[in-house]
Structure 1
Amino acid sequence: MFEHEQVVIRTGARSGRPVIIALHSTALGPALGGCRLAVYPHWTDGLTDALRLSAAMTGKCAVAGLPNGGGKTVVPLPAGPFDRRAVLLDVGDAIEDLGGRYGTGPDVGTGTDDMLVIGERTRHVACRPTSAGGSGDSSTQTAAGVVAALHALCAAVFGSPDLAGRRFAVVGLGRVGADVARRLAAAGATLVLSDVDPARRHVADALGAALVAPGDALAADVDVLVPAALGGVLTPGSVPLLRCRAIAGPANNQLDADATADLLHARGIVWVPDHVVSAGGVAYAAAVELHGETPAQATARVEGIGGTVRSLLDASARAGVTPLAAAHDLAAQRLRSARAA
């Protein structure tokens, strides 16, 4: 059954590129979701990504307690050069035409400066540079939320929220993954790090950590696996290779399919859904830029991810279901209440 409220697919007047906006739900309030610029085998693969990612954003906002629904912008790019400014202005026009039902921020392929360009055409944009009055790079707050989640996860699985002496494998050393790794190192954790880009070796070197191939990191003998790159790493093929006790990370769509959560559960591996773990950035930006909260109030929302993880893991244990099922139940309850109201 098609569950999205609206899907916009239009050719950008300046760029000639397809601009896709998937509006999954506005039951809780205006939808939020990042703007992704990426190369796809075919533009319809970008549409598939937008549909899936926007649905995940609805769950992320609902579980985080935000008064927002989920959406996503995807612009499938050519393999070669493209006019970046033209694409971003086209995105801004498409968002503005939705009349405030959807706002965007950075995602794969975009950053804070890009939000300034989109902001030339619409005010429904967050994470602009702090020098321009925005909340800045959301990756810092995303990383803070991940660490809050890891404290709660360790408390549930190992009996203590302390990260010191625990072994973590961080797969992906982009802005969020590298920040998480630094925070873990500062907390006294032992790290195994990985990234497909050899240029990220400097992150491992600075932390005195081992840098291994992504496949080796997934199968590393660690306490907690932290997926922080692109999604789809947890599959029926990779789950039997895992040697961790728990998994929590900011990478979107870590499971190839929801059924894989059952495979993890059967192996006794506690997996916290990625849309719960990665909510810090959107929670902070939305609170400050869209809802007028103070930085202190927004920071409290980010730190509250730890409490959300504790509640989900408690509910999961009580009902004997996966944390994913518990997260789906919580999101569904909040959406039903909003629709009833």
Structure 2
Amino acid sequence: MKSEVLAVEGWRKVVHFIDDQSGLNAIIAVHDATLGPGCGGCRIYPYASFEAGLEDVKNLSRGMTYKNALGGIPFGGGKAVIFADPKTDKTPEMLRAFGAAVDHLEGLYYTAEDSGVTEADLAMIRSVTPYAAGMEDKGVGGNPSPFTARGVWRGMQAAARAKFGAETLKDLTVSILGVGAVGMELARLIHEEGGRLVVADVNPTAMKEAVERFGAETSTPEDAIALDVDIFAPCALGGSLRQDSVERMQAKIVAGAANNQLKTPDMDQKLHDRGVLYCPDYVINAAGVISVGLEILGTWATEEMNRRIDKIGDRLSEIFERAQAENTPTGAVADKMALEVISKGAKSGVKSTSAA
């Protein structure tokens, strides 16, 4: 296997791995390791170019730095991408080669699930390296998707209280863009609370399931953000909140599970100016990585996970109150709070447990 350390300013370490025998072409990026080893999932996706994959892994790993800081777990921000189509290119050999790449970093990065990676894939990666988590073992840990969905649901409730004075999501209409593992579970929780659903996905089978199980209406992915609904929940790939789509938005709340929802940082201010309450993505979708973090630390327990998930709503309420008091976009407030946590950790002498 060939590896090349890429010079990326502001990142702790970015490494490009190529293994000709297995077909692996991957980048592992650790953005910050002040609070501990980088921790974040691996995404398998057929990027159009190397530059597109590098930009994605940079954005994702930076988001994990903030997510882990506000999630209260002692990990920095890390992420990995594999250049491949998970439906046609993924092989056991490729996964084991990726495990060897993770192991090459000697604990600087812990990997977990993301788009294109399953719990079974992680088990294969784990056969090569101990630095992989997100697998259920005797009722502990496992697929983080249900935890992520529950955290988004709690965050959505907090946003509804702040924006509408509503105690529940009953009779509110939510447009969900992306009904994969997280989006479908989120739809279930909203439906059981009495909320109304509109779903959009490139997968017609997933949309059909949501219609049959929850009585959801359907939309196209292009129109999901422009519907006359109360809440827009982006739960697919990132970048749905961009100049043209935000201008079409009618929802008063954005609360979804997707990473990197803002196509450009200025969309945070744009949403604020339009009176849209934005739930910063790395705050509302943090439950999955919190589960992975507790699994790595050996402190995972159902009661602790439920407590942590419930605190996501509390943390968002704190962000909303601070944003209102300062007349500042919620994303900027969340960033400031995350940096305060990291700065405090640096001043207290917190050191990464990983290798240099």
TM-score interval, normalised by the smaller of the two chains: over 0.9
TM-score with structure 2 setting the length: 0.92
SS in 1 for 2:32: coil
Change beyond 3 A, Cα 1:243–1:78: closer
Structure 2 residue runs without a partner (length 5+):
1-7, 349-356
Contact 2:322 2:333 in 1 (8 A): yes
Residue 43 (str. 1) matches residue 54 (str. 2):
no
Name the aligned partner's letter for residue 47 of structure 1: L
The answer for the alignment partner of 1:168 in structure 2 is 174
User: 1 CA distance for matches of 2:91 and 2:140?
Assistant: 21
| 1:45 positional shift | 1.8
- Residue 338 of structure 2 aligns to which amino acid in structure 1? A
Cα offsets for 1:123-156 (capped at 9, x unmatched): 111111446x752211000001001101111111
Let me know the Cα RMSD of the aligned residues: 1.6
* Alignment correspondent of 1:15: 22
Task: Please say if residues 119 and 125 of structure 1, whose CA atoms lie closer than 8 Å, have aligned partners that are also in contact.
Answer: yes
> Among 330, 338, 341, which residue is 2:337 paired with?
330
Matched, 1:179 2:181: no
Q: Distance in 2 between matches of 1:77 and 1:215?
A: 25
Q: What secondary structure sits across from 1:24 in the alignment?
A: strand
- The separation in 1 between residues aligned to 2:289 and 2:70, in whole angstroms, is 12
Q: Is the 8 A contact 1:288 1:295 kept in 2?
A: no
Amino acid at match of 1:195: D
Question: CA separation of 1:134/1:87 partners in 2, compared to 1, >3 Å: closer, same or farther?
Answer: farther
- How do residues 108-123 of structure 1 correspond to structure 2 at under 5 angstroms? 108-123=115-130
Return closer, same or farther for 1:214/1:295 CA change in 2, 3 Å cut-off. Answer: same
Letter matched to residue 167 of structure 1: T
Identity of aligned residues (%): 32
Instruction: State the Cα deviation string for residues 180-206 of structure 1 (Å, max 9, x = none).
Output: 011100000111111111111122222
1:95 alignment counterpart: 102
Structure 1 residue 179, shift from structure 2 partner: 0.5
Report whether the alignment pairs 1:277 with 2:284. yes
In structure 2, C-alpha distance between the alignment counterparts of 1:339 and 1:14, rounded to whole Å: 42
Q: How far does residue 288 in structure 1 lie from its aligned partner after superposition?
A: 2.9
TM-score, scaled relative to structure 1: 0.96
Q: Quick one: structure 1 residues 25 and 199, their matched pair in 2 at CA, closer, same or farther if it must change by over 3 Å?
A: same
Distance in 1 between the 2:346 and 2:262 partners? 29
- Do the aligned partners of 1:88 and 1:114 also contact (CA within 8 Å) in 2? yes
Contact 2:11–2:32 (CA under 8 A) maintained in structure 1: yes
Q: Indicate if the aligned counterparts of 1:14 and 1:90 stay in contact, CA closer than 8 A.
A: no
Q: Which amino acid aligns with 1:273?
A: P
Query: Separation in 1 of the partners of 2:86 and 2:310?
Result: 39
- 1:239 is matched with which residue? 246
- Is residue 2:196 matched to residue 1:151? no
Distance of 1:180 and 1:121 partners within structure 2: 33
How far apart, in 2, do the equivalents of 1:48 and 1:301 lie? 31
CA distance in 2, matches of 1:321, 1:220: 26
CA 1:246/1:49 → structure 2, altered by over 3 Å: closer, same or farther? Answer: same
Q: Which moved more, 1:81-90 or 1:265-274?
A: 81-90
**Structure 2 SS opposite 1:215:** coil
- Pairs aligned (count): 340
Task: State which drifts further: 43-52 or 74-83.
Answer: 74-83
Q: Tell me, in whole angstroms, the C-alpha distance in 2 between the residues paired with 1:193 and 1:67.
A: 36
CA distance in 1 between partners of 2:22 and 2:136 (Å): 24
**1:313 corresponds to which of 320, 323, 336:** 320
Maintained 8 Å contact 1:191/1:210 = yes
Q: Which residue among 262, 275, 285 is the counterpart of 1:268? A: 275
How far did 1:215 drift? Answer: 2.4
Contact 1:287 1:293 in 2 (8 A): yes
Q: 1:80 to 1:175 in 2, by over 3 A?
A: closer
Looking at structure 2, the residues matched to 317 and 30 of structure 1 have their Cα atoms a distance apart, in angstroms, of: 34
Q: In structure 2, what is the Cα distance between the partners aligned to 1:124 and 1:29?
A: 13
2:111 corresponds, among 104, 110, 113, to 104
Alpha-carbon separation, structure 2, partners of 1:236 and 1:245: 16
Q: Deviations over 1:287-333 (max 9, x none)?
A: 13434232211221122111111111111111110000100100110
Letter in 2 for 1:202: E
Deviation at residue 253 of structure 1 after TM alignment:
1.0
More divergent stretch after superposition (316-325 vs 75-84): 75-84
Stretch moving more, 1-10 or 220-229: 1-10
CA contact (8 A) 2:84 2:90 kept: no
Q: Deviations over 1:21-78 (max 9, x none)?
A: 0011110111111011110112232122111100000011111111111101111126
Shift of 1:336: 0.8
Point out which structure has higher relative CO (alpha carbons under 8 A, 6+ apart): 2
